[in-house]
Structure 1
Amino acid sequence: MLNNAISPLAWFKALADETRLRLLRILARHELSVGEIVAVLGMGQSRVSRHLAILVGCGLLSSRREGAWTFYSLAAAAPEADFLAGLAPWLAAAGPEADLAAVDEVLRERRRETRRFFNTIAPDWASLRREVLGELDPAELVRAVMPAAVGLAADLGCGPGDLLPVLAERARRVIGVDSSPSMLSLAERRTAGLPVGARMGELEHLPMADGEADFLVICLTLHHLPDPAAALAEARRVLAPEGRLVVIDFAPHGDEVMRRRFGDRWLGFSREKLSEWLDRAGFALADWSEHPVNRGLVAARAVAIPRQPSPRSAQ
Structure 2
Amino acid sequence: MKAALDIFRALADETRLRIVALLGTMELSVGELAQVLGQSQPRVSRHVKILCDAGIAQRRKEGSWVFVALGQEMLVAPVMAALSAWDVGAEVQADIARLAAVRADRAAAAAAWFETHAGEWDAIRSLHVAEEQVEAAMVSILGAAKIGRLIDIGTGTGRMIELFAPSATHALGIDKSSEMLRLARARVGARGLANAELRQADLYALPLGDAAADVAILHHVLHFAQQPGAAIVEAARVLSPGGRLLIADFAPHDREELRARDAHTRLGFSDAQIERWFTAAGLWPARIETLSGGELTVKLWLGQKAGEPLHEVKAA
Q: SS state of the match for residue 266, structure 1?
A: coil
Q: Which residue of 2 aligns with 1:156?
A: 153
| Deviation per residue, 1:31-73 (Å, 9 max, x gap) | 1112211221122333323322222232221111100111112
Gap regions ≥5 residues in structure 2: 309-316
Deviations 1:262-283 (A, max 9, x none): 2211111111110110011010
Distance 2:30 2:88 in 1: 22
Whether contact under 8 Å (2:151, 2:217) holds in the other structure is yes
The change in CA–CA distance for 1:241 and 1:132 in structure 2 (over 3 A counts) is same
State whether structure 2 residue 165 is matched by structure 1 residue 168: yes
- CA distance in structure 2 between the aligned counterparts of 1:138 and 1:271, rounded to whole angstroms: 17
Matched ranges for 1:128-139 at <5 A: 128-134=124-130, 136-139=132-135
Alpha-carbon deviations, 1:262-313, whole Å to 9, x = none? 2211111111110110011010111111001311x2111111110249xxxx
CA separation in 1, counterparts of 2:249 and 2:4?
40
CA deviation after TM superposition for structure 1 residue 110, in Å: 3.0
- Alignment partners' CA distance in 1, 2:134 and 2:201: 23
Q: Aligned partners of 2:86, 2:128: CA distance in 1, in Å?
A: 44
Alignment of 1:113 with 2:112, yes or no, is: no
Question: Which residue of 33, 47, 50 maps to 1:51?
Answer: 47
Take 2:283 and 2:50, find their aligned partners in 1: how far apart are those partners? Answer: 35
Q: Deviations over 1:78-132 (max 9, x none)?
A: 4x22442443424662552211111222222332222112111111111111111
C-alpha distance in 1, partners of 2:17/2:306?
36
2:140 and 2:125 map into 1 onto residues whose CA distance is 21
TM norm structure 2 = 0.89
Tell me the residue number matched to 2:28: 32
Given that residues 134 and 294 in structure 1 are in contact (C-alpha distance below 8 angstroms), is that contact kept between their aligned partners in structure 2?
Answer: yes
Deviations 1:149-204 (A, max 9, x none): 23321111111111111111201221111111111110011001312111112211
Distance 1:134 1:159 in 2: 17
In the alignment, what sits opposite 2:301?
A: 302
Are 1:135 and 1:293, in contact at CA under 8 Å, matched by a contact in 2? no
Could you tell me how far apart the structure 2 residues matched to 1:145 and 1:30 are?
A: 31
What TM-score, normalized by structure 1, do the two folds share? 0.90
Distance 1:119-1:283 versus aligned 2 partners, 3 A rule: same
Answering whether residue 178 of structure 2 is matched by residue 181 of structure 1, we say yes
> Matches of 1:94 and 1:18 in 2, distance apart?
11
The gaps in structure 1 that reach 5 residues or longer are 310-315
Aligned with 2:141: secondary structure? coil
Q: Percent identity?
A: 34
Q: Paired residue for 2:76, among 78, 81, 89? A: 81
Aligned to 1:278: 278
